[in-house]
Amino acid sequence: MESLDFVIDLTEKLEKQNIDYFLVALRKNDKHTKADVFYKLSDKQSGISMCKVLDSLPDKIEEDFPKRRNATNKKQKKRPAKKKSSAKKTAKKPSKNAPRKRGRPRNQNDGK
């Protein structure tokens, strides 16, 4: 795995400059990708602003890499369609005195 020394040095320099930051470092290998997250938020407003930015990231990433997502979807195995039955099923409405299948039992004195 790659060293994170450069990233740690960067975060130290940002802190010396009193800059709020949110940094994600991705480390890839053959089997999986690891993500290391570093952040410093000095106040509540910084946190709110960061959340707004993070909420918008999926759309921005999709704009930058639209083919990647579509290629991934094509690789997924196609599931066979469910067979539709030709006979229509009609649900029978239970009578008022029929026992309920779930929930608490009815009491004759409830609501009176």
**Token output for 77:** 């195995």
Give the pLDDT confidence of 51-101 residue by residue, as tens digits: 999 999 888 888 888 765 455 555 555 566 666 655 555 556 556 665 555
Where are the domains positioned within the chain? 5-68
Residue 21 contacts residue 40 (beta carbons within 8 Å): yes
Exposure string of 77-108, with b = 16+ CB inside 10 Å and e = fewer, is eeeeeeeeeeeeeeeeeeeeeeeeeeeeeeee
pTM of the predicted protein model: 0.52
Q: How far apart are CA 74 and CA 65, in angstroms?
A: 15
